[in-house]
Amino acid sequence: MSRPYRKSRRDPGLIEIATTSDWKVSAAMAAVCVLAATVIIPALLGSSRMLGGLVMVFVPLTWLMAVVFGSISLIRFLRQRPQASPTPQRSPAPRPIQPAVRATETSSSELDKAPLAESFASPTSAAAPEARPTAWSRELIDRIEWKRFEDLCCEFYRVKGIRAETTRLGADGGVDIRLFQDDAAPQRCTAVVQCKAWNQAVGIKPVRELRGVMAHERVEKAFFMAPNGFTDEARAFAAENRITLLDGKLFLAMLERLPEVLRQQLLDFATAGDWTTPTCPSCGVKMAARDSKRGRFWGCVHFPKCRGTLQMRGSAV
C-alpha cells in the first residue's frame, strides 16, 4: 500500500516541535525548563567551586527557554481551543444530490465581509436526484465532499483489516485518522493520516505540520491523502520525513486493486445519501448553497447560530 520510507535527513528541533505540536507539548517543555532552572542546575553545579560560575550562565538561559516555550504553549492553546458549537447532527434521511461543486476546507475571508443576513435569506433550491455511480473514477473522488472523503479514507483502512479511528469535528490537532496496528499494544497509535479534499494541490505547510504531529504522537509513519495532489516542495519534504503522499490517481489505483466485493462496499459507502454537499466544519450538518453580492457559497443551515461558510469552486471572491 505504501512505498518504503526514507530516513529523515534532519530531525526537527525543539522549537519546531513546540510550534507544530499540541500546546501540551510546549507546556511540558516550559515546565521542564522551570524545574531545571530552580532545582536541577543549582543542585548539579552549585556545590562545585569550579562549575559554580556556570550557574549564573545556565539558569538565566533556562528561564528564557521556559518563557519561550510557555508563550508558544499559550498561543497554541488559544489557536487549538475549539469554538462552542451545536451538537453535531446527521441528516435524518438521504437528500437529493446537489451539483458537485468542490468546497475548500477553509472559510473565505471575502465571504465574511458580505452582508450575512442578506446572504442567508434563502437557500438555493436543490437539484433533482441523479443516478448513483456504478464504478470508481477520478471524477467521482473529486466530487466527494470533504467530510465524506475523510470517512471514506478511514473506511478504506478498515476494510484492509487495519483498526482506524477518525477525530472529532473542529480542531483536530493536525490529524484526521489514527491507525492502530500493534498487536502487542492495541491502544498505541502506530500511524497518523491527514486528509485534504481541496480543489488545489497541497503545499508544504500542511505536510510540515503533519511532521510535527508525528513527533507529538511518537509515530514513525504518516500518510497524507489529497485528491488534487501536492506541490513539488511538499513532495520533497515528505520524502525526507517518512510521510507517504497519496493523490487521487494513486488512491484510485489502490481502490481498484481491492477485491470486487470490498470495492463495491466502499463505493456504496462513499455515495450513500447526499455525498456532494459539504458538511459544516463547525456543527457537522449539511450546508446549503447561498447567494451573495460576491458570489455563491456554502452556508450553514443553522445561521445565525452557526456562521460556518465554505467557498464554492468557481465562485467569485
Q: Give the amino acid at 167.
A: T
Under the banding of pLDDT at 50, 70 and 90, the label for residue 45 is confident
Q: Where are the alpha helices (H) located in the chain, listed in sequence order?
A: 14-20, 23-35, 41-45, 52-80, 109-113, 116-119, 138-143, 146-159, 204-217, 232-240, 248-256, 260-270
Q: What is the pLDDT of residue 281?
A: 85
Percent pLDDT > 90 in the chain is 41
More confident residue, 96 or 258: 258
The distance between the two most distant Cα atoms of the chain, rounded to a whole number of Å, is: 85
Percent pLDDT > 70 in the chain is 76
Residues in Cβ contact with 197 at an 8 Å cutoff, skipping those fewer than 6 apart: 102, 105, 144, 145, 146, 149, 150, 226, 227
Q: What is the pLDDT of residue 1?
A: 42
pLDDT tens-digit readout, 196-231: 999 899 999 999 999 999 999 999 999 999 999 999
CA distances from 2 to 73, 246, 253, 254 (A): 34, 9, 12, 10
Under the banding of pLDDT at 50, 70 and 90, the label for residue 170 is low
Strand-pairing partners, residue 166, are 177
Q: What is the pLDDT of residue 87?
A: 46
Q: CA angle 127-129-130, nearest 5°?
A: 110
More confident residue, 257 or 17: 257
Q: What is the pLDDT of residue 193?
A: 96
pLDDT at residue 135 is higher than 60 = yes
Q: Where are the alpha helices (H) located in 188-309, listed in sequence order?
A: 204-217, 232-240, 248-256, 260-270
pLDDT at residue 33 is higher than 80 = yes
Q: Give the amino acid at 10.
A: R
More confident residue, 296 or 315: 296
Look at the block and give the residue holding cell 458537485.
100
Residues in Cβ contact with 303 at an 8 Å cutoff, skipping those fewer than 6 apart: 116, 120
| pLDDT, mean of residues 86-104 | 43
Spatial distance between the Cα atoms of 144 and 153, rounded to a whole number of angstroms: 11
pLDDT at residue 32 is higher than 60 = yes
Q: What is the pLDDT of residue 241?
A: 94
Under the banding of pLDDT at 50, 70 and 90, the label for residue 93 is very low
pLDDT at residue 185 is higher than 50 = yes
Candidate ranges 25-39, 182-196, 224-238, 289-303; pick with highest mean pLDDT: 224-238
Residues in Cβ contact with 246 at an 8 Å cutoff, skipping those fewer than 6 apart: 223, 224, 225, 226, 254
Q: How many CB atoms lie within 10 A of CB 270?
A: 22
Q: What is the pLDDT of residue 112?
A: 45
Q: Which of 64-73, 88-97, 155-164, 272-281 has the lowest mean pLDDT?
A: 88-97
More confident residue, 21 or 113: 21
Q: What is the pLDDT of residue 129?
A: 59
pLDDT at residue 115 is higher than 50 = no
Look at the block and give the residue holding cell 467557498.
311
Q: What is the pLDDT of residue 106?
A: 42
Do residues 267 and 133 make contact, with C-beta atoms less than 8 angstroms apart?
Answer: yes
Do residues 209 and 17 make contact, with C-beta atoms less than 8 angstroms apart?
Answer: no
Q: Is 310 exposed, middle or buried (0-12, 13-18, 19+ CB in 10 A)?
A: buried
Spatial distance between the Cα atoms of 44 and 38, rounded to a whole number of angstroms: 11
pLDDT at residue 149 is higher than 70 = yes
pLDDT at residue 8 is higher than 60 = no
- Output phi, psi for 310, to 5 deg: -135, 145
Q: Which of 42-46, 99-103, 166-170, 235-239 has the lowest mean pLDDT?
A: 99-103
Mean pLDDT computed over every residue of the chain:
79
* Dihedral angle computed from the Cα positions of residues 243, 245, 246 and 249, in that order, rounded to the nearest 10 degrees: -150
Cell of 66: 521556559
Q: What is the pLDDT of residue 172?
A: 52
Spatial CA neighbour of 62 closest among 48, 88, 42, 82: 42
